[in-house]
Structure 1
Amino acid sequence: MSFAAVLSAWLSPGPVSAGALEPMLAGRWHDGLDPSAYWVSEKLDGVRAHWDGQQLRFRSGRPIAAPPWFVAGFPPIPLDGELWLGRGRFDQLSGLVRREAAIEQDWRRVRYMVFDLPGRPGPFNERLHALQEQVAAVGVSHLQAVPQFRVETRTALAATLTRVIASGGEGLMLHRADAEWQPGRGDAILKLTPFLDAEARVVAHLPGKGRYSGVMGALEVESAEGRRFRLGTGFSDAERRDPPAIGSVVTYRYRELTARGAPRFPVFLRVRDGGTD
């Protein structure tokens, strides 16, 4: 969707379909950047969800079967955020939101933590202010704006990251205050975590040996650059019995790249269809 079309849709009475917009994806924070130019928030270990004004959707565009009461009162404009249960509860949340039929009691513990207004013209400073106003205006208790704050120095940023990790968080997200909304991966949003992470497509299930005899031992995956490697750690017993489907995209964590560009010590995290990226 062109910028002109997005602007026209925002100015028209009807809602914009966020499902028609490519999501805005995060790059990686690196030394030398000035943190005072960014809004900072905790990186939530939730499921990425887009509200298109009428329907909650996964990052892929697939509808999320949320109970009608959960979305009742949401504003009729696009929102981008995370469905969240709390720190360290991604697996539980993922199973809950992927059910074809919502379980009412389980959804009452879920919050929709919103961090942007996709497609809206203007720098993030303005979008953040408008987002906070929208959330406050509707008064839905489980619809919340992700807390954003400013950090002036690299030393203060490092101290903030240390506190978040010590409390069980994943890391930090940094939104450049003057950045326009732009689909795709870029430098307007950056993530800062103790480890690196990336995505790869599953191309094969490799059989296990020893204690994993009879179940999946490792995934053979292919990166966006066409490099193939194995993911053999990070799986639960249930995931080894029912591994991610061939063709699905998974997120993995690693320490660094080798001289040949392969990830060192890759560990499976989750099947992609969510997660702050």
Structure 2
Amino acid sequence: MPTPSSAPPRIARLLSALLLGFSLWLPAAALSATPAPPLMLANVYHPGIALADYWVSEKLDGVRGYWDGKQLLTRGGQRINAPPWFTAGWPKVALDGELWAGRGQFNHAVSTVRREAPDDAAWRRMRFMVFDLPAHPGTFDQRLPVLQSTLAKLAVPWVQPVEQVKLGDDAALQGLLQRTVRQGGEGLMLHRGASLYRAQRSDDLLKVKTHEDAEAKVIGHLPGKGKYQGMLGALLVETPDGLRFKLGSGFSDAQRRQPPALGSVVTYRFRGLNESGIPRFASFMRIYQQ
């Protein structure tokens, strides 16, 4: 395949546009010098799951964090500049968890983690909620007590194991889900007890939520009307498979005054699809974080 520099001008422009479009959908890890950590990823909960085989925990609304034994990384492989005291004395083993500031505090968690120079006061509100030991060779049933023992020995209040429970049936699961959401939580996670830690997406890890969510790229800003005159009315977005639709709800007034930039990727929530494949009741959640 010719490169943009070696092709005729018209073809070169086309190739450059294609490469730019492709790069917007590359994971941050593919554009970063640091390889992305090998993370276990979740599928969506579906009927037919043998619930007795799983541990259940709250799905925390924070920033995925990976401690490689020396440094904190995002899921995309970017180094997180936490204050030295935050990671002092941490074990020399890999920890997989969530950098979390509490329910409803996602924006605080993101802004804190993304700072080049750590804000000490902001980090005082953060916790590293650990849910797995990636390098341990055993099953999750075997990893869980080792994880709890490891963090008990560390004994710092801002590093805690995520609470894991067993539930008897789907009714109990749905009841816990509804209580968690009413209290400001995002949903639940299911972790198969017999599973090894494998860096892939599978039913060994499942997420349970009251709604679905997905990502789309911002390709246009549509003007507002009425009370939103002079502000954003809706985003025109495009999914990875090329579907375009308007995203007009879920924004604060501040976000309407300063909407997500063209080319950025946003997360939206929805409830199923209509016949043309457009997400139903789509609502903006946040700018997507790797």
> Scaled by the length of structure 2, what TM-score is found?
0.81
Q: 2:155 aligns with which of 116, 122, 139?
A: 139
Helix, strand or coil: the match of 1:263?
coil
Larger-gyration structure (1/2): 2
Deviation, 1:211, is 3.0
Aligned counterpart, 2:116: 100
Do the aligned partners of 2:248 and 2:284 also contact (CA within 8 Å) in 1? yes
Q: 2:216 aligns with which of 200, 203, 219?
A: 200
Deviation, 1:156, is 1.5
| 1:170 partnered with 2:186 | yes
Q: Distance in 2 between matches of 1:253 and 1:57?
A: 26
Aligned counterpart, 2:258: 242
Q: Distance in 1 between matches of 2:156 and 2:80?
A: 19
Q: Distance in 1 between matches of 2:199 and 2:237?
A: 26
- Specify which structure has the higher proportion of strand: 1
Q: Distance in 1 between matches of 2:241 and 2:198?
A: 23
Q: Distance in 1 between matches of 2:40 and 2:219?
A: 26
Q: 1:46 aligns with which of 51, 62, 71?
A: 62
Taking a change above 3 Å as real, the CA distance of residues 207 and 111 of structure 1, as seen in their structure-2 partners, is same
* Worse overlay, 225-234 or 145-154: 225-234
Q: Distance in 2 between matches of 1:19 and 1:131?
A: 25
Deviation, 1:121, is 3.0
| 1:62 partnered with 2:102 | no
Q: Distance in 1 between matches of 2:242 and 2:134?
A: 30
Instruction: Output the aligned Cα RMSD.
Output: 2.0
Q: Which amino acid aligns with 2:259?
A: P
Do the aligned partners of 2:37 and 2:76 also contact (CA within 8 Å) in 1? no
Identity of aligned residues (%): 53
Aligned counterpart, 2:51: 35
Aligned counterpart, 1:159: 175
Q: 1:86 aligns with which of 98, 102, 107?
A: 102
Do the aligned partners of 2:64 and 2:74 also contact (CA within 8 Å) in 1? yes
Q: Distance in 1 between matches of 2:263 and 2:195?
A: 34
How many residue pairs align between the two structures? 257
Q: Distance in 2 between matches of 1:28 and 1:243?
A: 29
| 1:185 partnered with 2:201 | yes
Q: Which amino acid aligns with 1:133?
A: S
Helix, strand or coil: the match of 1:264?
coil
Q: Distance in 2 between matches of 1:114 and 1:47?
A: 12
Helix, strand or coil: the match of 1:150?
coil
Q: Distance in 1 between matches of 2:266 and 2:128?
A: 23
Deviation, 1:81, is 1.1
Aligned counterpart, 1:115: 131
Do the aligned partners of 1:19 and 1:57 also contact (CA within 8 Å) in 2? no
Deviation, 1:19, is 4.8
Q: Which amino acid aligns with 2:287?
A: V
Deviation, 1:269, is 0.8
Higher relative contact order (CA 8 A, sep 6+): 1
Q: 1:24 aligns with which of 21, 40, 45?
A: 40
Taking a change above 3 Å as real, the CA distance of residues 247 and 262 of structure 1, as seen in their structure-2 partners, is same
Q: Which runs of 5+ in 2 are unaligned?
A: 1-33
Do the aligned partners of 1:202 and 1:249 also contact (CA within 8 Å) in 2? yes
Q: Distance in 2 between matches of 1:270 and 1:37?
A: 33
Q: Which amino acid aligns with 2:206?
A: L
Q: Distance in 1 between matches of 2:100 and 2:122?
A: 12
Do the aligned partners of 1:58 and 1:273 also contact (CA within 8 Å) in 2? no
Kindly provide the CA deviation profile for residues 244-275 of structure 1, in whole angstroms up to 9, marking residues without a partner as x: 2333332111011112322101111112226x
Q: Distance in 2 between matches of 1:269 and 1:68?
A: 32
Taking a change above 3 Å as real, the CA distance of residues 95 and 174 of structure 1, as seen in their structure-2 partners, is same
| 1:231 partnered with 2:247 | yes
Helix, strand or coil: the match of 2:172?
helix
Q: Distance in 2 between matches of 1:83 and 1:91?
A: 12
Q: Which amino acid aligns with 2:284?
A: F
* Worse overlay, 204-213 or 142-151: 204-213
Do the aligned partners of 2:37 and 2:77 also contact (CA within 8 Å) in 1? no
Deviation, 1:119, is 4.7
